[in-house]
Structure 1
Amino acid sequence: MKNFTDKNLKKIINQKLKNINLFFDNFLLTNLIFILYKTSRYSKYYYHTIFHKNKNGNAQPIFKKDIPLLPEKNHNYLNDEYVELSIIVPAYNVEKYIDQCIASISSQNLTFTYEIIVVEDCSTDNTKNICNQIKLKYDNIKIIYHEKNSGVSEARNTALNNIKGRFITFVDSDDLICNNILNQAMNLIRINKNIDVVGFKLYTFETDYDINNIKNNPDKIQSSIITGLDNIYKIAEGYPWGKIYHRRMFDNIRFPRGLCWEDGIILKIVMRRCTVYADLGVVGYLYRKTPNSITHSIKAKNLGYDHFYMINFCINEMKRLNLNIDTIFYKKIVEEATVFFKFKNFLFA
């Protein structure tokens, strides 16, 4: 296996060099780069083998997590349906953004019954005090305070357990909602009673100046109704936000605790229950790009291990929920793994 990997790695390096036309004959340069890379790779491997061992003498990976990969057997909603939409907002150290986030939701003059559930996850900045002010400022908002910091997955789970909505959407507390998207989505749901999930596009921005070109309140949305798992997967993104879900999509399903890549359950588990997907085809979610995002932290935190944990978690969940583990499931695993490889090693970029 090692010889096979090394042989193909050398081919990749040589192809990279040919693509950028560094030399007419790349043989010597290819071998030099390969030797340097191989030396680095195996030196790290043997370092961790020698210095990171558990009680049984086995090597320990960096940032290895001693966490259960199987959650509780059953997850239940604590409340029945009382409103049409529950808007879930996990909040941690977002003193600069949380008020703007909630304002972007409330300012849409929503024409249906709704609730906003903010889960304050023991922030170390002024987020908690701002949440207290927000509670007095807006209607239909509920603040849940965690007793200890538990991460975004547990914050979403806490909110999911407490929802009163027939439908659910997620909004991260440093992001924004635009284009009257919630009204547009809920109006479509009222017309098409069999819709499981409504999706809309996202726009990535770094400053408020970047979002000035987003048209507000589009006059008409050309929605598409999509059926069939293959077709849905071609359109739907793997993020929890940018969608409105019927609550049955999360029946007995929750986000994994203590892991990054928690979004992996959306396409691999949650969306497998979706039989009718509506695509609004317009931007409705504004994603704020920050230095703390996962894609900026993969290399620094060695989050590739979390991805492997997530694969195992999803397989166990599929078995628990009696969902079919098929080619589509494994295809999604490979597609998501390419993100890790891209940031982990320039050879796969």
Structure 2
Amino acid sequence: MATPSHEPPLVSVCMITYNHEPYIAQAIESVLMQQTDFPVELVIGEDCSTDNTRAIVCDYRERYPERIHLLLPEHNLGMFPNFVATLQACDGRYIALLEGDDYWTDPFKLQKQVDFLEVHPEYGLVHTDCDFLYVKNSVTLHAINKSDPLFIHVQEYDQNEIFDLLLVYKYRIVTPTVLFRRDLYFAIIDELSRTTSRFLMGDAPMWLEMSRLTKFHYIDDVTAVYRILPESASHSKGRSKRLRFKLSSAEMRVYYSTKYEKNIPECLRREYNKYLLLYKVCNPCYAEMYSLIQPSRAEVFFYNRLECILVGLFVQLWFWLQHKSSRVVETLRGIF
């Protein structure tokens, strides 16, 4: 980072953290190592962790008071409210995102991204390639975009193309690689606030909304490591939680397809129907956001079978309650 000065920061690094004790120091150090010719601030939203995360970030704030701005709410806010509060505390013209369990590997990441946006006002967001680190088995998948033939980022796309590709999982944006213009986020915050309670992911809706307003640029360099933890919103050991996240992702994409009057792609239709049916096996009472989309006969048959099973369960429950209540009445009569 550039030597602290009285100049306002050109870049704010927005870092939210909760129970990241094993990782938070590496995340902070990767920001402090950035080599830039402009001032950078690190804004940390520490959301009342139950481990030693708060003590670690407070220690860093004491050591780097001119570089680190620390938000310490008195109670747990939750991921999205903490994210919004931390973003609103950012003063830079540009905002970079880095959660407390990820870290940067390229000391020139911020410089490269700012250099591009400074001379290309038609672009609002820059992102890069990264490595995936699977914490459970300590396996690293290097250069995730280069290793996946589905994701071709070297080509420049227009806004509509990026939106359409994001809908069908063919354009990947990994949060710790992103830098965007601050005013771009505040142009979409009201819409994000309305939709955040509906879905389990906060980053994909943000990219979809931003892609409607500006162009994205991809730098084909690895600049960060994205940690995949054994238990998180997007990766869970429990089958029901995994299916719920997959269904929420499909629901979100159907929502944005209909919101912007796009035809729902066939692959998205199949994905939504698949995860709706699978999740209702785990949770038959789930009230779906959308009915099955142009379902096949097999999908209709399976859905109807699930409804029959649910009705049967309610009937069994009713008889069980009736039986229990009659026994209670008989017991009371015997007493009185």
TM-score by length of 1: 0.60
Could you say if the C-alpha distance between residues 126 and 187 of structure 1 is closer, same or farther in structure 2, counting changes exceeding 3 Å? same
Contact 2:254 2:268 in 1 (8 A): no
1:327 & 1:212 partners in 2: Cα distance?
34
Q: How many percent identity over aligned positions?
A: 19
Contact 1:150 1:258 in 2 (8 A): no
Task: Name the counterpart of 2:262.
Answer: 327
Task: Name the counterpart of 2:59.
Answer: 133
Matched, 1:299 2:239: yes
Larger CA Rg, structure 1 vs 2: 2
Deviation at 1:121, TM superposition (A): 0.3
Task: Name the counterpart of 2:24.
Answer: 98
Deviation at 1:224, TM superposition (A): 6.2
Q: CA RMSD in A?
A: 4.1
Matched, 1:245 2:180: yes
Could you say if the C-alpha distance between residues 185 and 100 of structure 1 is closer, same or farther in structure 2, counting changes exceeding 3 Å? same
Task: Name the counterpart of 1:194.
Answer: 122
2:213 & 2:95 partners in 1: Cα distance?
15
1:313 & 1:211 partners in 2: Cα distance?
29
Task: Name the counterpart of 2:334.
Answer: none
1:311 & 1:125 partners in 2: Cα distance?
34
Task: Name the counterpart of 1:229.
Answer: 160
Contact 1:94 1:173 in 2 (8 A): yes
Matched, 1:145 2:72: yes
Report 1:18-33 matches (<5 A). Answer: none
Contact 1:249 1:271 in 2 (8 A): no
Contact 2:176 2:226 in 1 (8 A): no
Task: Name the counterpart of 2:103.
Answer: 176
Deviation at 1:169, TM superposition (A): 1.7
Contact 1:260 1:303 in 2 (8 A): no
Farther off after superposition, 239-248 or 287-296 = 239-248
Farther off after superposition, 258-267 or 242-251 = 258-267
Task: Name the counterpart of 2:204.
Answer: 264
2:75 & 2:254 partners in 1: Cα distance?
26
Task: Name the counterpart of 1:89.
Answer: 15
- Secondary structure (helix, strand or coil) at the match of 1:261 reads coil
Task: Name the counterpart of 1:205.
Answer: 133
Deviation at 1:105, TM superposition (A): 1.4
- Secondary structure (helix, strand or coil) at the match of 2:69 reads strand
1:223 & 1:262 partners in 2: Cα distance?
25
Which of 65, 90, 97 pairs up with 1:163? 90
- Ranked by relative contact order (alpha carbons within 8 Å, sequence separation 6 or more), the top structure is 1
Matched, 1:111 2:37: yes
Task: Name the counterpart of 1:58.
Answer: none
Could you say if the C-alpha distance between residues 339 and 109 of structure 1 is closer, same or farther in structure 2, counting changes exceeding 3 Å? farther
Deviation at 1:213, TM superposition (A): 7.1
Contact 1:196 1:249 in 2 (8 A): yes
Task: Name the counterpart of 1:39.
Answer: none
Farther off after superposition, 287-296 or 81-90 = 81-90
- Secondary structure (helix, strand or coil) at the match of 2:219 reads strand
2:270 & 2:102 partners in 1: Cα distance?
25
Show structure 1 runs of 5+ residues with no match: 1-80, 215-221
2:80 & 2:244 partners in 1: Cα distance?
18
TM-score by length of 2: 0.62
- Secondary structure (helix, strand or coil) at the match of 1:165 reads coil
Contact 1:177 1:285 in 2 (8 A): yes
Contact 1:232 1:277 in 2 (8 A): no
- Secondary structure (helix, strand or coil) at the match of 1:196 reads strand
Report 1:32-43 matches (<5 A). Answer: none
Deviation at 1:264, TM superposition (A): 3.4
Which digits, 9 at most, give the CA deviation of each residue in 1:87-145, with x for residues without a partner?
A: 11111011111111010111122322221110010101111111110112334111101
Contact 1:238 1:266 in 2 (8 A): no
Task: Name the counterpart of 2:225.
Answer: 286
- Secondary structure (helix, strand or coil) at the match of 1:199 reads strand
Could you say if the C-alpha distance between residues 84 and 343 of structure 1 is closer, same or farther in structure 2, counting changes exceeding 3 Å? farther
Deviation at 1:270, TM superposition (A): 2.7
1:172 & 1:143 partners in 2: Cα distance?
14
1:262 & 1:205 partners in 2: Cα distance?
21
